[in-house]
Amino acid sequence: MSEEIKLAANEYIKTRSNYLRGTLAEELSDLTTGAICEDSQQLIKFHGSYMQDDRDMRPTRRKHKLDKAYSFMIRIRVPGGVSTSEQWIEMDRLADTYGNQDFKLTTRQAYQLHGIIKSNLKQTIKDINSVAMDTIAACGDVNRNVMCTPNPYLSEVHATSLKISQEISDHLTPQTGAYHEIWLDGEKVESSKEEVEPIYGKTYLPRKFKIAVAVPPHNDVDIYANDLSFIAIEKDGKCIGFNVAVGGGMGTTHGDVNTFPRAADIIGFCTVEQAVDVAEKVVLVQRDFGCRTERKRARLKYTVEDHGADWFRAKTEEYLGYKLQDEKAYEFTSNGDTYGWMKDDSGHYHFCFFIEGGRVIDTPNYQLKTGLLEIAKAHSDIEFRLTANQNVLISNIDEAKKAQIQTLINQYKLEDGSTHSALRRSAIACVALPTCALALAESERYLPGLIDKFDPILNRLGLEDESITIRMTGCPNGCGRPFLGEIAFVGRGPDKYNVYLGAGHDGQRLNKLYREAVPGDDIIPLIEPLLEDYAAEKEEGEHFGDFVIRKNYIAATLRGADFHDNIAEEAFAK
Ligand code: SRM
Ligand code: SF4
């Protein structure tokens, strides 16, 4: 008798959910509690929301024997990162009306609202949909927000890449009527169940799935961190197709050698016309061969790692019914953003603002949120393009508007980053505390202060214009893509960080563990000598990540007597 395979718990939740319905509708109308049940906490992710609680308030509430301060985070999809002035204005309003009076620009070109209480959740999602944005598949075991290089400097190639990213997004959006029924008071559809999700089927994917499209030389969407990505190949100013990369991902678990970050492999090239089909077939291969027994091993990167990239290419080609072409030459130069005014080759202007930590907020000294709102209100026909480095680029501006916008930029002293060190301009911090349930340490609230301490050192060493990518996350899930930072800090416990060094400045090479569980106060003394060496010994044009690898600092540490955790060594050997 064959033994029944025990699947991961979420597989059963998906199976019995009737295409993501579960008991969500009933629970939303029960206002005797601000929470929802555990199954619903998993299901609501597919609808773009997470149940959270304010972790800062936990001790006080515990002391007074109160339940946790529950609220919901809502993630709003923005395929390719392109939103309108109207949508920006609505995000601002929703943050003030239902949220925490601020909103977050995420590392995947989406918006996030925090602090929405259960009784306001439905109205907030309705309002989001009323400005032609949605939240379905912003989270959950499905394809998430599809990213695309936001800077349209190569107009034609960019236009094609953006169009493809939006077509892929549309094609892979779940078809279930549950979203409309629950949030938009849509008619209940008596579905012919087996047909409702033609691509995903009733158990969707084994795990989240992420796609990005990059236009070289910018790797600002960090394609090597994605399950699937497309690298635009240009010839004579036109996009002739894409290199296809699979198997990237960041998430890992401290102490678990079976989990590791992985940089994607390029498996071939497809034409523009084939791209949506390729995306679908890669998703289908992962649907059919991805691990459904252990969620920690369920990402596509493990399917590629376990079977090999050649197997993955062959399987994809089998599903496609045709062969991919061989990869074409391309070059990335950085994974950061370019700030300030830019002009594309069709003559339009774009301006990239520096938004520290992606948090759009007013403070007594800096009216960032108000300033951006005033720009959106004054110019209804411009775009707000979110970047994967948590910044925003306003776009499609003609000569006349440029001057008017510059007046508002001056009035509100809006930052193009030029008053900051290049290190700060090249930083990413994930949300972490107080909203993220998984945070082991601070991140968004901590990194700016840490950079304050780095700045005088960089000035002293003449390194203030070196755009060293620095990334911090509150845990090893990797939401700020820390394993692609030239310097990275990954939360290990309260005020303790694992320190990683040596990623490629172009985002192609992962970094390596340098020191474990470093207390916050010890970070500067640990890194300062390396920066001094770098200032004294770097070669012309050499990036910090390349320098630490050339100097073998990390290998030396790995052999050092104080290195006692071989877990990371094994993981990073891959
Ligand atoms: Fe993430 C989980 C925030 C980009 C890997 N991520 C979470 C949750 C939802 C925590 C949770 O499960 O309870 C975080 C919510 C915090 C909060 O309070 O808002 C969270 N992730 C974020 C954002 C908002 C970070 C940011 O500061 O911008 C990013 C939202 C992206 C979006 O718009 O869709 C975000 N997360 C990423 C990225 C970067 C990327 O995709 O380019 C990664 C690494 C890439 C990857 O997926 O491998 C990432 N998040 C994770 C993981 C680890 C997944 C894994 O394979 O193990 C988790 C945990 C999980 O899924 O179990 C996670
Ligand atoms: Fe939370 Fe960890 Fe992601 Fe940071 S990296 S947002 S702490 S899950």
Residue-wise DSSP of 188-218: PP---GGGS-TTT-TT--SS-B-EEEE-TTB
CATH code assigned to 422-573? 3.30.413.10
In this predicted structure, the answer to whether residue 491 has a pLDDT above a threshold of 50 is yes
In this predicted structure, the answer to whether residue 560 has a pLDDT above a threshold of 90 is no
Look at residues 483, 462, 487, 426 and name the one whose alpha carbon lies nearest to residue 538: 462
Residues with CB under 6 A from ligand 1: 50, 52, 73, 75, 106-108, 110, 112, 144-145, 208, 210, 222, 225, 249-251, 299, 358, 390, 430-431, 435-438, 477-479, 481
Instruction: Answer yes or no: are the C-beta atoms of 455 and 421 closer than 8 Å.
Output: yes
Q: Around Cβ 195, how many Cβ atoms within 10 Å? A: 8
Distance in angstroms (rounded) separating the CA atoms of residues 253 and 256: 6
Look at residues 147, 154, 213 and name the one whose alpha carbon lies nearest to residue 342: 154
Give the per-residue pLDDT at 567.
39
Average pLDDT over residues 139-168: 94
Cross-strand bridge partners of residue 265? 246
Angle, helices 275-289 vs 155-171, to 10°: value is 40
Give the per-residue pLDDT at 574.
34
Q: What is the mean pLDDT of the chain?
A: 94
Angle, helices 85-97 vs 368-378, to 10°: value is 140
- Does an H or E element contain 42, and which? helix 38-46
Q: How confident is the model at residue 1 (pLDDT cuts 50, 70, 90)?
A: very low
Cross-strand bridge partners of residue 155? none
Distance in angstroms (rounded) separating the CA atoms of residues 146 and 162: 10
Look at residues 127, 100, 148, 125 and name the one whose alpha carbon lies nearest to residue 48: 125
Ligand nearest to the CA of residue 358, numbered in listed order: 1
CA of 436 to the centre of ligand 2 (A): 6
Tokens of 215: 């236009």
Ligand nearest to the CA of residue 475, numbered in listed order: 2
Question: What is the 8-class DSSP label of residue 4?
Answer: P
pLDDT digits (tens, 9 = 90+) for 418-471: 999 999 999 999 999 999 999 999 999 999 999 999 999 999 999 999 999 999
Determine which residue's CA is closest to atom 30 belonging to ligand 1: 106
Q: Around Cβ 562, how many Cβ atoms within 10 Å? A: 7
Q: Tell me the percentage of the chain whose pLDDT exceeds 70.
A: 95
Determine which residue's CA is closest to atom 38 belonging to ligand 1: 479
pLDDT digits (tens, 9 = 90+) for 327-380: 999 999 999 999 999 998 888 999 999 999 999 999 999 999 999 999 999 999
**Which residues, 6 or more positions from 450, have their beta carbon under 8 angstroms from its beta carbon?**
472, 489, 520, 523, 524
Distance in angstroms (rounded) separating the CA atoms of residues 346 and 229: 26
In this predicted structure, the answer to whether residue 564 has a pLDDT above a threshold of 90 is no
Give the per-residue pLDDT at 2.
53
Q: How confident is the model at residue 572 (pLDDT cuts 50, 70, 90)?
A: very low
Look at residues 323, 340, 435 and name the one whose alpha carbon lies nearest to residue 397: 340
Instruction: Answer yes or no: are the C-beta atoms of 444 and 480 closer than 8 Å.
Output: no
Give the per-residue pLDDT at 344.
87
Give the per-residue pLDDT at 519.
98
Query: Three-state secondary structure along 64-99?
Result: CCCCCCEEEEEEEECHHHEEEHHHHHHHHHHHHHCC
Give the per-residue pLDDT at 195.
59
Q: How confident is the model at residue 104 (pLDDT cuts 50, 70, 90)?
A: very high
Task: Answer yes or no: is the C-beta of 78 below 6 A from any ligand 2 atom.
Answer: no
Tokens of 139: 């989270």
pLDDT digits (tens, 9 = 90+) for 283-307: 999 999 999 999 999 999 999 999 9
Average pLDDT over residues 89-99: 98
pLDDT digits (tens, 9 = 90+) for 106-131: 999 999 999 999 999 999 999 999 99
Task: Answer yes or no: is the C-beta of 475 below 6 A from any ligand 2 atom.
Answer: yes
**Which residues, 6 or more positions from 327, have their beta carbon under 8 angstroms from its beta carbon?**
243, 266, 267, 268, 269
Q: Which atom in ligand 1 lies closest to the alpha carbon of residue 435?
A: 18
